[in-house]
Amino acid sequence: MACSFRPCGPRLGSASLGSLRALALLIGVMAGAVPGAAAGADVSVMLDEARLVKLPERVATIVVGNPLIADATLQTGGILVVTGKGYGVTNVIALDRAGTVLMEKLVEVKGPGADAMIVYRGIERETYSCTPICERRITPGDTGAYFDAAINQTGNRNDRAQGVQPGK
């Protein structure tokens, strides 16, 4: 049920509304106490690209809400590498050894940028990277046959570059 600009669910009485306001105030105060909780601290990354995020001191564990959307790798020197894996929004949480939240950020993964061209043939979709010549690009959402052909060619090429003989 989508209720973006109007109240949803049961109506609240004045006592419940007052409790909700107090809870909202408490959440707002707590958000201010957590580094990176500000609205401007979110991370935006393109699909198949990476962004660097500086972490607070004492980070021991990183939690990614949905690893199908983004991946996060902790590097030495307090750097987090966030890589876009699929379209959408997820979150990344940094914890210390005691389990205290040191940072939480929303991560938005966006689709191909201006260098990509998407071709629709009826309901079939193909994506090309045009930098400057258009070549196949492996992108979630492309037609299965197109996606599989492009990924098989890429895998085959990578195998050969590593010295793996075809069919072995």
What local confidence, expressed as pLDDT, does residue 131 receive? 85
What local confidence, expressed as pLDDT, does residue 167 receive? 66
| Whether residues 91 and 132 fall in one domain | no
| Whether residues 97 and 134 fall in one domain | no
* Residue 20, in any domain of the structure: no
Spatial distance between the Cα atoms of 131 and 152, rounded to a whole number of angstroms: 22
Question: Mean pLDDT for the chain?
Answer: 79
pTM summary value: 0.62
**Residue predicted with more confidence, 91 or 113:** 91
Domain total in the chain: 2
Strands 61-64 and 88-95, by their bridges, are antiparallel
| Angstrom distances, CA of residue 112 to CA of 22, 33, 116, 122, 133 | 42, 35, 6, 20, 16
| Whether residues 98 and 52 fall in one domain | yes
* Residue 55, in any domain of the structure: yes
| Whether residues 103 and 132 fall in one domain | no
Q: What is the mean pLDDT of residues 96-119?
A: 91
* Residue 76, in any domain of the structure: yes
* Residue 121, in any domain of the structure: yes
Whether the predicted pLDDT of 92 surpasses 50:
yes
Which residues partner with 54 through β-bridges? Answer: 79
Q: 152 lies in which domain range?
A: 116-161
Amino acid code (one letter) for 64: V
